[in-house]
């Protein structure tokens, strides 16, 4: 909303600079987005009067105007079609800086000789002055402009562009802002007069209106003005409308717009002669009822739409836009003025359903206001104000009385505030006098009582223009914001003990981040909304096939909630490969996968860590990095990472070969609870087809994902207990075993690890080749035998080793590899 | 004078002179064998003659012999140490490297700037007793709007352009949405527990909004909520002051102005003085000198009532802020879209 300070001064005085005023308003909740100075750069621009207008001696299209500047007469050449003798105009003298209407740039006016005649200045259009877009003709000033007066004194203004919060429709009016300024400065507000001569015949409500849908229009007021003359509105009104950003049309329409800007109540003027039956019917539309609105659009309405109709059908969409068929025209004389209360919800729904737009913004000036829930007390105020102007500015005769259909009449609300509540909420109380004065200055009617206990009570009647005041705390905010939040003291919350620990999953996510980052991995965060093709390329075979869809997606690229993070990570990898490719990538993300759970439940949000690794294990360097295929990051890099991660988290797991649609079979594994059960994660090299589908250049990409919620379930429950360190020496042995080449080494390693008296073991070599029989592979383990109670003899170790070999033979089919 | 003493003196001076010239360990060993070798060494040979001397000369010669022997031993040790040192030093010189060559680097990882900022925010509130709680991103209309005093068709809904899930209930309504703010957790937490409450809710939020340099459709928020007997607006101010000082430095000035959020009353917008221009006005702060970083207010009594708290007994405050905006202001990032594009050239700067 654009607030002209010149206009604002009609209602309230203030002795503040525009910057000070903007600051005070902003602090009180009415944010000023920008301050615009109109006319600050109008040097050498003044009001002139065209004394005489004659032809240019050497040019048919140009005219020669003699302009009176109050102190002298200047000869000025003008080519505008609308220039006439006797007009008050804007004269720019040589040296003035104007906007070039063609280029938009600012240029200094020089004296010019046009076809042999010197022009001593220029008569300006709006565009040249930076006042508007109009460059069709010159700007003609009203008759009260005094020749010689600097234009800045006459038309100069400061416009505050204010950002109105959803709770304050009253701030969409000059008067609402004036009340605010009055409260901030302590100055009284001058309320515009609603008195006018009611010289016409008496009317009653039923003469003008038939309100059949009070559920959509709870109050409908109207007035009748006869014998009005439609023409241009007075200059001062046009100037104010322009300052507010509204284009003047005709006096009748301009008056409705002016009152909307002044009081905040939207109004509509109907040409009575175009209302069949002379009476407005306010009703729901019938099914498929047609209506052409003023913007030329054809609507097919439903019973959820409210129409203003006559005997023949709809003449307007209630609270939103008038119909083409009842519009006021130049020949209109009798006007039915509508000032009504339309429900915010129904207005909003009709605007959405009918896709009403003006200038790219949703809704109309009127509907935007109704959607904010205008007070039901406002219609007669706006009505009377507009009727007064129609009488005084359009020569109309107002009927005696107004129509006011208000079936569910309400009394103004009274809200009670006590000093106890003030202190309870704010921590302090400014005192009865300040509270009372502040509320009064905002237009509340106030009854204040000092009670015997030293406290006070204030009963405040809410002013008719406010809809946001319903409870004591609302009054508290009014007092606090006008006094200023800065004046309220500062205290600290009482200290408590240590805060509670977060949920284990929350904690675990942070732990995972820390471990992975320490191990050289980079955290990414991507959109959880993904396109269907990405999901199809990356969901493992057993994932749900129907991801959750966004009904009003922004773009197809953000249509579905991901059911896996795999696509996010792989896409991030692909995107980063497109720039200067790196030698290696180690990326991860922690986030949710969203699994549908039927229409009556929230989806399950499962937290995963997912990561990808690709490229060389070590970067190329003068020391020598990796440059052969065997130095590429592969399955075992990811597995080692996951092993380290899970061990750090205290999660016990084992690994099994996996068959996963998007991973290379034979090079992927499930992560399972140590005790068996459903897998809670996957590690694997991404299938070449998947890489190709995602345009990933790296030939080998390893991916891992762990369901952190499930991992949490497999966290070792018992506290880590300290085991005493044996004082006796350990015996280091190596075991070379032969197993079938397809047998998992993990099972062999587990048997050795868990065997009594084996305190450390490691798989140090896996070998297939000339010295190993076909179909077999050799596994070499290094292990340490140790007893907590005594030194083991070689014989004791030999015996134990034989027992271990027996067990390995029985359970894993492993035999001792004969020494070659 | 006996010839033995002369010979001893001669051996001493000759041996020491020869030792001076020795520069490697082999020659040193040869020298030791020549002069001190147990059988053939010239000094032991001379000493064999001692018993043959007359008794009156024997004492003086014996003392001299001891002195010479000690002198040779000491000189030998000294020479050996010098040669040893010289050889280590020579080896090291041979192994000298160009210390300006780059070292063997371990790949460096890093947290996403949003995570880093979230952690800093949480750490700033932790000392004041706030615990981290998380909640669902797919939320019911009820928690996201209705329970927060934003009923259907309420004009305030325009502040939160919403992405709705394509799921209809029996009434043909779409009840599930992607939460537009972390505030629904206020209600969920109050429903789940009794006061006192001091929680922080970090999390992802969604908007149906075209993206540009300052708008994202997916971003993060941190919500805060404190409820107890006796919590006041002054406590809200104090808490946010303390946060601002911890987060942005002890000299930060803080501004509180009135603002509207349907779920608080009174409502607050908190700003800090612009650290780019020290409050004088610049491009970063749109010439205002202030950076708005947080919305806040006293929890609306209707919300307390709705969750079953007695608003005459309990009061509290809530606040919310965006970590991206804070990170942008601190690091001079000019476009919020950098955050979730996951360009490593961006991420690696943090
Ligand atoms: Zn600044």
- Phi and psi, residue A798, nearest 5°: -60, -45
The answer to whether A53 and A38 have CB atoms below 8 angstroms apart is no
Mean pLDDT along residues A144-168: 91
List chain A domain ranges.
2-39+159-185, 45-155, 205-405, 414-487, 504-713, 731-816
pLDDT, tens digit, for every residue of A415-469?
A: 999 999 999 999 999 999 999 999 999 999 999 999 999 999 999 999 999 999 9
Asked if A644 is an interface residue toward chain B (Cβ–Cβ < 8 A), one would say: no
Q: How far is the CA of B348 from the centre of ligand 1 (A)?
A: 27
Residue B106 touches partner A, C-beta closer than 8 Å = yes
Fold classified for A45-155 = OB fold (Dihydrolipoamide Acetyltransferase, E2P) (2.40.50)
Interval between CA B273 and ligand 1 midpoint (Å) = 8
Residues of A in contact with B152 (CB under 8 A): 345
**Would you report the helix, strand and coil content of chain B in percent, each value rounded to 5?**
45, 20, 35
User: To the nearest whole angstrom, how far is the Cα of B99 from the nearest Cα of chain A?
Assistant: 13
Considering the domain delimited by A414-487, tell me its CATH architecture.
2-Layer Sandwich (3.30)
Average per-residue pLDDT for chain A: 91
User: What would the pLDDT profile of A40-76 be if each residue is shown by its tens digit?
Assistant: 888 899 999 999 998 888 888 889 999 999 888 998 9
**pLDDT band for position A719 (cuts 50, 70, 90):** low
Contact A527 B238 (CB under 8 A): no
Closest residue, chain A, to B179 (C-alpha): A602
* CATH (residue range A205-405): 3.50.40.10
- Answer whether B232 touches A (CB < 8 Å): yes
A-chain CB neighbours of B198 within 8 Å are 493, 496, 499
Q: What is the mean pLDDT of residues B70-93?
A: 88
Distance B292 CA to ligand 1 centre (A): 11
Q: Fold match between A2-39+159-185 and A414-487?
A: yes
Please state, for a pLDDT cut of 90, what percent of chain B lies above it.
53
- Stronger pLDDT, A542 or A580, i.e. the higher one: A580
Domain positions in chain B: 3-94, 113-347
Q: Give B231-271 pLDDT, tens digit per residue.
A: 999 999 999 999 999 999 888 889 999 999 999 999 999 99
Residue of chain B whose Cα is closest to the Cα of A425: B232
Tell whether A553 lies on the interface with B, counting CB pairs under 8 A.
yes
Confidence of residue A542 (pLDDT cuts 50, 70, 90): low
Q: Is B264 a catalytic residue?
A: yes
Q: So what's the pLDDT on residue B284?
A: 80
Q: Would the CB atoms of B153 and A345 count as touching at under 8 Å?
A: yes
- Position A501 scores a pLDDT of 83
Q: Is B253 a catalytic residue?
A: no
CATH class of B113-347: alpha beta
**Percent of all residues in chain A with a pLDDT value above 90, rounded to a whole number:** 67
> Could you tell me the two tokens for B145?
């709007």
> Residue A622: pLDDT above 50?
yes
Average pLDDT over residues A553-564: 93
Least Cα separation, residue A739 to chain B (angstroms): 37
Q: How far is the CA of B328 from the centre of ligand 1 (A)?
A: 13
Q: What's the full length of chain A, in residues?
A: 820
Q: Check B188, B318, B325, B338 and give the catalytic one.
A: B318
Please give the Cα distance from A592 to A604 (Å, whole number).
9
Which of A44, A39, A36 has its CA nearest to residue A108? A44
Cβ B257–A373 below 8 Å, yes or no?
no
Stretch among A33-42, A127-136, B116-125, B208-217 having the lowest mean pLDDT: A127-136
CA gap B44, B65 in Å, rounded: 10
User: Which of these is catalytic: B61, B160, B300, B327?
Assistant: B160
* Interface list for A 58-87 with B (CB within 8 A): none
Q: Which of B102, B150, B216, B233 to mutate to test the interface with A (most CBs of A within 10 A)?
A: B233
Mean pLDDT of chain B: 91
Between residues B308 and A543, the one the model is more confident about: B308
Q: Could you tell me which residues come within 8 angstroms of residue A673 by beta carbon, excluding any fewer than 6 positions away?
A: A652, A653, A654, A680, A713, A714
Q: Residues near A812 by Cβ (< 8 Å), separated by ≥ 6?
A: A739, A743, A747, A748, A751
Compute the distance between CA of residue A335 and CA of residue A331 in angstroms, rounded to an integer: 11
Interface contact B129-A600, CB threshold 8 A: no
Contact A506 B134 (CB under 8 A): yes
Q: Is B229 a catalytic residue?
A: no
Please report residues of B whose CB lies closer than 8 A to that of A529.
163, 206, 218
Angle between helices B113-125 and B323-331 (to 10 degrees): 110
A461 within 8 A of A445, measured Cβ to Cβ: yes
What percent of chain A stands above pLDDT 70? 98
Q: Model confidence at B1, in pLDDT bands (50, 70, 90)?
A: very low
**Which has the closest alpha carbon to A583: B236, B105, B263?**
B105
For residue A130, pLDDT beyond 90: no
Q: What dihedral do alpha carbons B16, B22, B27, B33 form, nearest 10°?
A: 10
- Per-residue pLDDT band for A625 (boundaries 50, 70, 90) equals low
How far apart, in whole angstroms, are the C-alpha atoms of residue A192 and residue A7?
A: 12
Q: Cα dist. A251→A319, A322, A330, A392, A604 in Å?
A: 21, 17, 10, 11, 61
Half-sphere exposure of A13 (CA within 13 A, CB side): 4
Tokens in use for B206? 């969604």
The question of whether B159 is a catalytic residue gets the answer no
* Residue B31 annotated among the catalytic residues of the structure: no
Residue A556 DSSP code: G
Q: What is the CATH number of domain A504-713?
A: 3.30.930.10
State which fold the A731-816 domain adopts.
Answer: Alpha-Beta Plaits (3.30.70)
The reply to whether B156 touches chain A by the CB within 8 Å rule is yes
So what's the pLDDT on residue B104?
A: 80
Name the E strands within A493-639. Answer: 522-523, 529-530, 560-561, 584-595, 604-615
Catalytic residue among B226, B264, B296, B327: B264
Distance CA A336, CA A342 (A): 18
The pTM (predicted TM-score) of the whole model is 0.86
Q: Give domain A2-39+159-185's CATH architecture.
A: 2-Layer Sandwich (3.30)
Q: Give me the catalytic one of B32, B181, B198, B300.
A: B181
The interface pTM score, or ipTM, of the predicted complex is 0.88
DSSP B169: -
| pLDDT value of position A126 | 86
In this prediction, residues A291-315 reach a mean pLDDT of 92
Mutation pick from A490, A496, A622, A623 vs chain B, by most beta carbons of B within 10 Å, is: A490
């Amino acid at each position: 909303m654009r607030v002209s300070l010149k206009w604002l001064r009609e209602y309230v005085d203030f002795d503040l600079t525009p910057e000070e005023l903007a600051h005070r308003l902003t602090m009180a909740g009415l944010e000023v987005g920008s301050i615009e100075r109109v006319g600050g750069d109008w040097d050498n621009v003044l009001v002139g009067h065209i004394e005489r207008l004659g032809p240019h001696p050497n040019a048919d299209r140009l005219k020669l105007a003699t302009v009176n500047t109050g102190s002298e007469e200047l000869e000025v050449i003008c080519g505008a079609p609308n220039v006439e003798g006797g007009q008050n105009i804007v004269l720019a003298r040589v040296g003035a800086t104007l906007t070039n209407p063609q280029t938009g740039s600012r240029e200094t006016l020089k004296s010019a000789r046009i076809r042999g005649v010197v022009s001593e200045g220029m008569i300006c259009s709006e565009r040249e002055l930076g006042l508007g877009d109009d460059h069709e003709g010159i700007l003609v000033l009203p008759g009260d402009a005094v020749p010689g007066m600097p234009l800045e004194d006459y038309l100069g203004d400061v416009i505050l562009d204010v950002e109105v919060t959803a709770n304050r429709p009253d701030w969409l009016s000059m008067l609402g802002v004036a009340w605010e300024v009055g409260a901030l400065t302590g100055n009284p507000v001058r309320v515009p007069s609603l008195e006018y001569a009611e010289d016409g015949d008496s009317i009653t409500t039923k003469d003008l209106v038939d309100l059949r849908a009070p559920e959509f229009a709870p109050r409908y007021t109207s007035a009748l003005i006869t014998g009005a003359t439609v023409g241009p509105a007075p200059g001062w009104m046009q100037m104010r409308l322009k300052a507010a950003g509204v284009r003047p049309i005709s006096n009748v329409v301009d008056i409705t717009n002016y009152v909307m800007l002044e009081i905040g109540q939207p109004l509509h003027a109907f040409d009575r002669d175009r209302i069949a039956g002379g009476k407005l019917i306010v009703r729901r539309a019938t099914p498929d009822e047609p209506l052409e609105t003023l913007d030329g659009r054809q609507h097919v309405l439903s019973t959820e739409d409210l129409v203003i109709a006559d005997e023949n059908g709809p003449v307007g969409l209630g609270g939103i836009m008038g119909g083409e068929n009842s519009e006021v025209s130049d020949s209109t004389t009798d006007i039915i003025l509508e000032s009504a209360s339309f429900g915010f919800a129904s207005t909003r729904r009709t605007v959405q359903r009918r896709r009403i737009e003006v200038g790219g913004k949703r809704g109309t000036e009127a509907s935007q206001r109704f959607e904010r829930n205008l007070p039901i007390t406002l219609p007669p105020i706006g009505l009377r104000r507009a009727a007064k102007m129609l009488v005084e500015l359009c020569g109309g005769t107002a009927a005696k009385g107004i129509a006011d259909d208000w079936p569910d009449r309400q009394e103004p609300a009274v809200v009670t505030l006590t000093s106890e509540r003030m202190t309870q909420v704010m921590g302090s109380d400014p005192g009865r006098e300040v509270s009372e004065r502040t509320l009064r200055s905002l237009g509340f009617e106030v009854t204040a009582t000092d009670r015997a206990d030293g406290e006070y009570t204030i009963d405040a009647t809410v002013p008719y223009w406010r809809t946001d005041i319903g409870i004591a705390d609302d009054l508290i905010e009014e007092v606090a914001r006008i006094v200023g939040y800065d004046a309220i003291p500062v205290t600290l919350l009482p200290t408590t003990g240590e805060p509670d620990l977060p949920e284990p999953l929350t904690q675990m996510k942070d732990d995972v981040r820390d471990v992975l980052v320490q191990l050289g991995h980079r955290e990414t965060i991507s959109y959880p909304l993904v396109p269907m093709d990405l999901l199809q390329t990356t969901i493992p075979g057993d994932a749900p096939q129907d991801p959750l869809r966004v009904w009003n997606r922004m773009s197809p690229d953000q249509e579905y909630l991901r059911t896996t993070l795999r696509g996010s990570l792989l896409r991030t990898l692909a995107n980063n490969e497109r720039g200067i490719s790196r030698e290696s990538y180690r990326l991860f993300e922690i986030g949710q996968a969203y699994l549908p759970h039927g229409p009556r439940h929230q989806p399950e949000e499962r937290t995963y860590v997912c990561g990808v690794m690709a490229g060389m294990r070590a970067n190329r360097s003068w020391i020598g990095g990796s440059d052969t295929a065997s130095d590429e990051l592969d399955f075992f890099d990811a597995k080692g990472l996951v092993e380290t991660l899970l061990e750090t988290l205290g999660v016990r797991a084992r690994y099994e070969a996996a068959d996963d649609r998007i991973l290379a079979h034979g090079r992927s594994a499930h992560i399972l609870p140590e005790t068996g059960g459903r897998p809670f994660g996957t590690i694997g090299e991404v299938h070449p087809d998947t890489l190709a589908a995602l345009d990933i250049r790296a030939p080998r990409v390893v991916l891992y994902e762990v369901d952190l919620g499930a991992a949490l379930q497999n966290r070792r429950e018992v506290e880590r207990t300290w085991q005493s360190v044996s004082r006796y020496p350990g015996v280091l042995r190596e075991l070379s075993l032969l197993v079938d080449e397809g047998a998992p080494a993990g099972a062999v390693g587990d048997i050795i690890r868990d065997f009594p008296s084996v305190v450390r073991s490691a798989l140090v070599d896996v070998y297939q080749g000339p010295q190993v029989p076909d179909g077999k592979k050799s596994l070499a383990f290094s292990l340490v035998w140790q007893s907590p109670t005594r030194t083991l003899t070689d014989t004791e170790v030999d015996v134990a080793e034989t027992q271990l070999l027996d067990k390995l033979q029985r359970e894993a089919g492993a035999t001792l590899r004969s020494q070659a | 004078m006996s010839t033995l003493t002369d010979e001893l003196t001669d051996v001493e001076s000759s041996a020491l002179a020869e030792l001076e010239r020795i520069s490697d360990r082999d020659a040193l060993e040869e020298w030791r064998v020549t002069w001190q070798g147990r059988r053939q060494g010239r000094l032991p040979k001379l000493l064999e003659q001692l018993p043959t001397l007359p008794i009156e000369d024997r004492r003086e010669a014996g003392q001299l012999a001891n002195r010479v022997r000690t002198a040779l031993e000491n000189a030998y040790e000294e020479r050996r140490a010098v040669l040893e040192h010289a050889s280590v030093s020579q080896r090291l010189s041979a192994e000298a490297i160009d210390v300006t060559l780059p070292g063997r680097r371990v790949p460096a990882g890093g947290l996403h700037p949003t995570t880093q900022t979230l952690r800093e925010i949480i750490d700033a509130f932790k000392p004041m007793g706030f615990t981290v709680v998380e909640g669902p991103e797919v939320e019911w209309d009820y928690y996201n709007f209705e329970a927060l005093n934003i009923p259907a068709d309420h004009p305030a809904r325009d502040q939160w352009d919403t992405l709705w899930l394509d799921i209809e209930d029996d009434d043909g309504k779409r009840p599930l949405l992607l939460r537009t703010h972390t505030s629904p957790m206020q209600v969920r937490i109050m429903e789940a527990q009794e006061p006192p409450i001091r929680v922080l809710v970090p999390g992802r939020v969604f908007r149906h909004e075209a993206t540009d340099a300052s708008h994202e459709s997916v971003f993060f928020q941190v919500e805060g909520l404190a409820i107890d007997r006796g919590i006041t607006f002054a406590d809200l101010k104090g808490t946010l002051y303390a946060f601002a000082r911890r987060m942005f430095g002890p000299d930060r000035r803080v501004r509180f102005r009135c603002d509207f959020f349907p779920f608080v009353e009174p409502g607050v917008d908190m700003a800090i003085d612009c650290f780019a221009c020290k409050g004088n006005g610049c491009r970063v702060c749109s010439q205002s000198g202030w950076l708005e970083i947080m919305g806040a207010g006293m929890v609306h009594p209707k919300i307390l009532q709705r969750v079953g708290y007695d608003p005459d007994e309990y009061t509290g405050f809530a606040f919310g802020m965006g970590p991206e905006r804070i990170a942008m202001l601190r690091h001079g990032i000019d476009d919020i879209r950098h955050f979730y594009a996951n360009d490593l050239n961006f991420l690696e700067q943090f």
